[in-house]
Structure 1
Amino acid sequence: MQEFGDFANIDIDKLLKTADGQFAQMEELQKTMADLVGRAQDEDGLVVVEYSAEGLHELELHPKAMRLSSGELAEMIKEVVREAAADLQKQVSEAMGEVFGEEDNPMKFINDPEAALDQVRSAEASYNRTFEDVMGELDRIRRRLDL
């Protein structure tokens, strides 16, 4: 009879307790993420933006902003919105870093898609090795049973 290796020694209670803790952390993360708001303003305070998960949350224009040309105002608004979105992204990354740890923080892949692809390729290679091992074992069983 073949042994189950380390699988036979798994502490199920510890595994379930760890999973429960992770689910609780994820629930807390979801609540935290819903409350996050990125904020930014231009250096003169003419345009103030709040950006949330739903998108542009608040846009305040100081009356002096109306003295700018429409093109200047549009560019200023776009830049401040980008800065507020970046602020939100930074907050999300920090919140996820607290839950997952900095090493396993999935937000690190946003600016480095090649690293994400490397992780996918590694997982694919592992899957392929496991699949080949299982199929080889099934083939040995088939031959042994003369099927």
Structure 2
Amino acid sequence: MTDFGDLGGIDMDRLLHSVDQQIARAEELEKAMAKLVGRAEDEDHLVLVEYAQEGLRTLEIRPKGMRLSAAELSEKIKAAVQDAVADLHRLSGELMAEMFGAASPMRMIEDSTAMLKQVKRAEASYDRAFEDVMGEMDRIRRDLDL
């Protein structure tokens, strides 16, 4: 069993500092994400779209685009919006990779197998910690004759 008198050897100052750093990084990421804008334009340069965190920011239809049929224009707009969303997603992934490196949340989302392995490791760690705590509680109960 682990002796929990010193919290299992955990350096609380280091742990709290690490948590503070993660919170600061998350706040920095939130501010940077708010500034990202995905952009796309159709191949004929008739429709320009900007998509940001709040949704569709810009939809520009050039004069020649107004000559298209409603169905053609609709398809160009939908495709440009999808491309702008994909561009925003790409930019978000690059930003997260820059800020978090290999621990980027986007990498974990994109690689579900790796994410599942990390969840399983965390679950095993939790189970071990729970067993240690329960064992320590049993020892304390026995020592106190409860």
Instruction: Tell me which amino acid in the other structure corresponds to 1:90.
Output: R
How many corresponding residue pairs?
Answer: 142
* Other-structure match for 1:141: 140
Cα 1:124–1:15 change in 2 (3 A) is closer
Q: Which whole-Å deviations, capped at 9, do the CAs of 1:99-118 have from their partners, x for residues lacking one?
A: 211x1000113333343333
Checking the alignment, whether the CA contact within 8 Å between 1:46 and 1:62 is kept in structure 2 is: yes
AA partner of residue 79 (structure 1):
A
More relative contact order, 1 or 2 (CA 8 Å, 6+ apart): 2
1:130 aligns with: 129
Instruction: Name which of structure 1's ranges 123-132 and 63-72 shifts more when overlaid on structure 2.
Output: 63-72
| Structure 1 residues 85 and 118: CA distance shift in structure 2, 3 A | same
Superposition RMSD on alpha carbons, in Å? Answer: 2.4
Which consecutive residues of structure 2, in runs of 5 or more, have no partner in the other structure?
Answer: none
Give 1:59 shift: 0.5
Task: Name the CA shift for 1:95/1:113 in 2 (closer, same or farther; >3 Å).
Answer: same
**Partner of 1:36 in structure 2?**
36
**1:45–1:93 Cα change, 3 Å:** same
- Note the C-alpha offset of 1:70: 2.2
1:81 aligns with 2:84: no
Partner of 1:47: 47
- Higher helix fraction: Structure 1 or Structure 2? 2
Percent sequence identity is 56
Query: What is the CA distance between 1:76 and its match in structure 2?
Result: 1.7
- Corresponding letter in the other structure for 1:58: T
Deviation at 1:131, TM superposition (A): 0.6
Amino acid paired to 1:50: E
Distance (whole Å) between structure 2 residues aligned to residue 44 and residue 23 of structure 1: 44
* CA shift digits 1:23-79 (9 cap, x unpaired): 443333222111110101111111110000011110011122223232222222111
TM-score by length of structure 2 reads: 0.80
